[in-house]
């Protein structure tokens, strides 16, 4: 992929709602997830593929510098690769708030994206 063809990142409503709520508690959240956004824009679809959704969905971990316990206690971003040039950020959550998201939550976020 050449440098001038960046992947477009779209923020879904569920992602925006959750991000806004988390940002009230964690001041560094924007800085913490920026490296992930940079990787995605470059076309590097990082993280673990979530199987059983029916779409190309990944979960990636990000450290939370407001609670320095490494990536294990940080954020989880769920994103969908729509095509090679477009990614939808579906959900974000803090591992300290929520252990995992269900397949239904992910499907709901996908449905709200379209």
pLDDT, tens digit (0-9, with 9 covering 90-100), for 20-58:
999 999 999 999 999 999 999 999 999 999 998 888 999
Query: What are 93's strand-pairing partners?
Result: 76
pLDDT value, residue 1: 39
pLDDT value, residue 94: 93
**What domains are there in the chain, each with its CATH number?**
8-113 (3.30.2310.20)
What's the whole-number mean pLDDT along residues 1-16?
Answer: 82
Strand stretches in 27-110, DSSP E? 48-50, 57-62, 75-83, 86-94
């Amino acid at each position: 992929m050449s440098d001038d063809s960046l992947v477009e990142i779209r923020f879904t409503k569920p992602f925006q709602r959750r991000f806004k709520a988390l940002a009230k508690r964690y001041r560094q959240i924007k800085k913490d997830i920026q490296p992930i956004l940079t990787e995605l824009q470059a076309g590097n679809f990082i993280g673990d593929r979530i199987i059983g959704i029916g779409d190309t969905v990944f979960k990636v971990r990000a450290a939370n510098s407001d609670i320095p316990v490494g990536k294990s206690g940080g954020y989880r971003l769920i994103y969908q690769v729509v095509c090679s040039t477009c990614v939808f950020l579906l959900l974000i959550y803090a591992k300290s708030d929520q252990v995992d998201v269900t397949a239904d939550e992910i499907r709901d976020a996908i449905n709200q994206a379209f």
